Amino acid sequence: MPSNRYSSPLLFSASQSTAPAPAALLPWLSTDGSLTAMLEAKSGQPLLVTRSFEGYRPLTLAQKKQLGIQGQALNRPLLAWVREVQLYGDDELPWITAQSIFPLKSLQGRARRLQQLKGTPIGYVLFKRSRTLPNQRLIQHTTEGWQRQTRYDWYGRRVLISETFLPQFCQKLLGI
Ligand SMILES: C=C(O[C@@H]1C=C(C(=O)O)C=C[C@H]1O)C(=O)O
């Protein structure tokens, strides 16, 4: 078994709608590997990333808890670098909307390049050296669609990435 193989506990949120996730969507919701790689394999072309926001924001209490922050640090203001994007396959409408949150201490060393990605998918960087990453994941159904929130452990640095699978992706590609 490769050393970096990691089986992440899949958590389904209690607030999830009564209907389970569609079987066709599960591989996309649950992969331990790069979603970028899966999307590019599906579309047959490089992922197009459009940015709607990139900059510093204070972490919310919920985000601090999702990142595993505990104790007094929960009550202290904590800045993070936030990136909000839309991901396009071979379609004029976006397939995924995503938000990535990097606590400042996760941006040290070579991780600093995560602030200069521009249109490069984060997945190219996160999964450059390993096909899977240790992670913990929450899956829920929201008003925008099925969503997964993943806390990745990227060589000791924690990153929180949330992706929502938009109707265009689900209806057109998976027939659901
Ligand atoms: C985290 C990954 O990167 C994807 C690319 C993103 C970006 O460029 O902002 C955001 C979310 C991901 O769907 C991945 O490939 O799994």
For the CA of 35, the nearest atom of ligand 1: 16
CB 34 less than 6 A from any atom of ligand 1: yes
What's the 122 CA to ligand 1 centre distance in angstroms?
Answer: 5
34-174: CATH topology: Chorismate lyase (3.40.1410)
Q: What is the pTM of this model?
A: 0.89
CA 34 to CA 37: how far, in whole Å? 5
pLDDT digits (tens, 9 = 90+) for 17-67: 557 888 899 999 999 999 999 999 999 999 999 999 999 999 999 999 999
For the chain, the domains span 34-174
For the CA of 96, the nearest atom of ligand 1: 13
Known binding residues: 83, 122, 163
Whether the complex's predicted ipTM surpasses the cut of 0.90: yes
> Do 122 and 83 contact (CB within 8 A), yes or no?
yes
